[in-house]
Amino acid sequence: MTAQNERLAARLDEAARQGEATWQPSEECELSVADAYAVQEWAVARRLKRGERLVGVKMGFTSRQKMAQMGVDEAIWGRLTDAMLVPEGSRVAPARYIHPRVEPELAFLIEREIPPGAPPETITSAVAAVAPALEIIDSRYADFRFTLADVVADNASAAGFVLGAWQAVPSSLDCRGVLLEVDGRVAEAGSTASILGDPWRSLVAAARLAGRAGLPLKAGWVVLAGGATAAVPLRPGTLVRTVVESLGSASVAVA
Ligand code: OOG
Ligand code: MG
């Protein structure tokens, strides 16, 4: 960990804690993607030192819709902690964030630890259940603007997640309609096929990427597969819900 990476990690962690935007590392230095992952790890380590627990990983930019919205065209991953979990049906306070957005996702529940380098069959058979989910993203950068390395350093904009009821693993997950509703009106519509063609691919990618970073997916962890549609602003006083065809829904009220 270089002094520069450590400084960036501290700045990003503070921005998240204070709910105040900070500037992009790309504006002041050359940051490789490998360095950006080191910054991410360090920034999350600060959370863990304060008592938060790692509870899973998230994939980002696994759909064209998200890549197009943010101008980034490579899949990335980030770390989830218990403090980010927003219980389904609870009320989330947008004031704790900077400029939060919400997007519809699918979540996988890992039943058995996945060793790094495991073949795809081992990865997919380690899943206990799947659930519709909402992800709250909140870039720590002004105007939600960033390069690939910037957003990796910022833990892939991870800020919160809501899990619907866990369901038995269905034989296939591709081509299911996904709706993102705000106050009962459809804000975005898409398909699970948008997630790398099939959300299972996203799980395999998550296991590979995290494994390569020395982080095997553990029993009890959650993997978020990535947004199936573009994200929408999390507006005060609204009720946000995602419905995934034949899988159920996940919702959150915004205070
Ligand atoms: C980065 C996070 C991307 C997804 O599901 O694609 C992401 C961002 O959009 O700020 O979570
Ligand atoms: Mg997401």
Contact in structure between 188 and 114 (CB atoms under 8 Å): no
pLDDT value at position 119? Answer: 97
Q: State whether the beta carbon of 151 lies less than 6 angstroms from ligand 1.
A: yes
pLDDT value at position 171? Answer: 86
Complex confidence, ipTM: 0.99
pLDDT tens by residue, 145-195:
999 999 999 999 999 999 999 999 998 999 999 999 999 999 999 999 999
Take atom 8 of ligand 1 and give the residue whose Cα is closest.
157
Q: State whether the beta carbon of 139 lies less than 6 angstroms from ligand 1.
A: yes
Q: State whether the beta carbon of 134 lies less than 6 angstroms from ligand 1.
A: no
Q: Which of 137, 141, 203 to mutate to test the pocket of ligand 1 (most atoms within 8 A of CB)?
A: 137
Q: What is the DSSP letter of 84?
A: G
CATH number of 3-254: 3.90.850.10
Helices (H), 81-161: 120-125, 148-153
Domain spans in the chain, listed from the N-terminal domain onward: 3-254
Tell me how far apart the alpha carbons of residues 68 and 64 are, in angstroms, rounded to a whole number.
6
Q: State whether the beta carbon of 133 lies less than 6 angstroms from ligand 1.
A: no
Tell me how far apart the alpha carbons of residues 8 and 156 are, in angstroms, rounded to a whole number.
15
pTM value surpassing 0.80:
yes
**The amino acid at 218:** K
Q: How close is the Cα of 230 to the center of ligand 2, in Å?
A: 9
